[in-house]
């Protein structure tokens, strides 16, 4: 791959390209915002193991076809381990953990996960890439994360204590943030859709085995609505949405673009209200407005970049 390949974003253009990065990030967030409510619909008829693993198998099949048809070169040896980090976070960890959690909690409660992801991704991006946002960015990001969590918790009726579902959700946040940060870096080298495609291929053997186990234990049988939700989770949430999201993170700066996901709880709970009949109150509208304002302020704040860490 040449130095001027479109898959690589020259470092001197990172700050000037923030609007483009944000645009791709918003498109990815819009695609992901349906994930929680549609998963909640699907788990009513399909086993969580089948949903979490089976959608990765479907997406891996699409990825393998795309990689083959376009004759993509194999990643370098040093990139395979990093692809495994992406696969473990966004292909296996997040879908499985959140799917099991959503068998116990409603979609509005699960939106807390999405509210915590931007802050976690920003922290890991700083640790991994050496990005150094200014203090205002961290203050606004912290306020946005607090507003998003408070909004989701208030809409869900509050959280009384920490139980198993919450532990699953917190673990999902951590592994997904790792996958987002590493995937954003790999996108600069491999390309956006190539990164998620190779990550799906890496995870395919394990996810196919888990899918087979779930089919043997509980043969899937569901109405058309549940299968339609599963199809969206497999094709969009698990694959096509990452085309836009990873490209936005790659254009960067990653710590700032990640904050766009603060608006995802607002979208998620809106879809949950439409699809699941959850009520949207005045508090929900006010909280959503606060989240959007703080997210916009955080993403528009300019930060300085520290020296890049050696690979």
| 8 belongs to a structural domain | no
Going 112 to 275 to 236 to 226, the CA torsion angle's sign is positive
> CA 287 to CA 281: how far, in whole Å?
10
Looking up tokens 């709970």, which residue turns up? 269
How many residues appear in the chain?
Answer: 311
Please report, in tens digits, the pLDDT of each residue of the chain (311 residues total).
Answer: 444 444 444 444 444 445 788 889 889 999 999 999 999 999 999 999 999 999 999 999 999 999 999 999 999 999 999 999 999 999 999 999 999 998 887 887 778 777 778 878 878 887 787 777 788 878 887 887 888 777 767 755 555 545 678 789 889 989 999 998 898 889 889 988 999 999 999 999 999 999 999 999 999 999 999 999 999 999 999 999 988 888 887 887 776 777 788 888 888 888 888 888 877 777 767 777 787 787 777 766 745 444 444 44
Token pair 């040896």 in the structure block, residue? 77
| Residue 6 resides in a domain | no
- Look at residue 11 and tell me if it is in a domain: no
Look up residue 106 and give its two tokens.
């409603």
Let me know if residue 77 belongs to a domain.
yes
Peptide bond into 75 cis (omega under 30): no
CA angle at residue 306 from 305 to 307, to 5 degrees?
125
Give, in order, the Cα–Cα distances in Å from 46 to each of 56, 168, 180: 15, 19, 27
Contact 29, 180 (CB under 8 A): no
Q: What's the pLDDT at 304?
A: 47
Residue 61 lies in a domain: yes
Q: Write out the residue range of the structural domain in which residue 84 sits.
A: 18-302
Answer whether 86's CB lies under 8 Å from 199's CB. Answer: yes
Q: How far is CA 282 from the centre of its chain?
A: 28
Contact 184, 252 (CB under 8 A): yes
On whether residue 307 sits in a domain, the answer given is: no
Q: Is 70 helix (H, G, I), strand (E, B) or coil?
A: coil
- Residue 261 and residue 36: Cα distance in Å, rounded? 14
pLDDT of residue 5: 43
Q: Give the residue among 238, 273, 222, 249 at the shortest CA–CA distance from 108.
A: 273
Residue 201 within any structural domain of the chain = yes
Q: What pLDDT, on a 0 to 100 scale, did the predictor assign at position 32?
A: 93
Q: How many domains does the chain have?
A: 1
Distance CA 50, CA 46 (A): 7
Dmax over Cα atoms in the chain, in whole Å? 54
Q: Would you say residue 127 lies in a domain?
A: yes
């Amino acid at each position: 791959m040449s130095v001027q390949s479109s898959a690589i974003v020259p470092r001197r253009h990172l700050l000037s390209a923030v609007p483009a990065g944000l645009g791709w990030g918003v498109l990815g967030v819009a695609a992901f915002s349906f994930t929680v409510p549609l998963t909640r619909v699907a788990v009513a008829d399909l086993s969580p193991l089948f949903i979490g693993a089976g959608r990765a198998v479907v997406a891996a099949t699409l990825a393998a076809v795309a990689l083959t048809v376009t004759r993509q070169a194999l990643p370098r040896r040093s990139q395979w381990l990093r692809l495994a980090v992406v696969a473990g976070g966004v292909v296996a960890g997040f879908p499985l953990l959140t799917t099991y959690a959503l068998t116990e909690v409603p979609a509005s409660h699960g939106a807390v996960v999405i509210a915590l992801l931007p802050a976690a991704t920003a922290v890991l991006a700083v640790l991994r890439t050496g990005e150094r946002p200014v203090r205002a960015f961290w203050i606004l990001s912290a306020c946005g994360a607090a507003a998003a969590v408070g909004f989701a918790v208030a809409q869900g009726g509050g959280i009384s204590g920490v139980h198993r579902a919450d532990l699953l959700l917190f673990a999902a946040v951590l592994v997904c943030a790792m996958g987002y940060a590493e995937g954003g870096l790999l996108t600069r080298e491999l390309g956006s859709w190539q990164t998620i495609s190779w990550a799906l291929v890496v995870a395919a053997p394990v996810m196919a085995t888990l899918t087979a186990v779930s089919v043997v234990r509980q043969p899937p049988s569901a109405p058309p609505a549940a299968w339609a939700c599963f199809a969206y989770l497999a094709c969009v949430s698990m694959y096509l949405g990452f085309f836009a999201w990873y490209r936005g993170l790659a254009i960067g700066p990653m710590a700032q673009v990640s904050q766009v996901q603060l608006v995802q709880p607002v979208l998620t709970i809106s879809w949950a209200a439409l699809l699941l009949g959850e009520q949207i109150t005045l508090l929900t509208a006010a909280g959503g407005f606060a989240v959007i304002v703080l997210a916009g302020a955080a993403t528009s704040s300019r930060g300085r970049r520290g020296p890049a860490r050696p690979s």
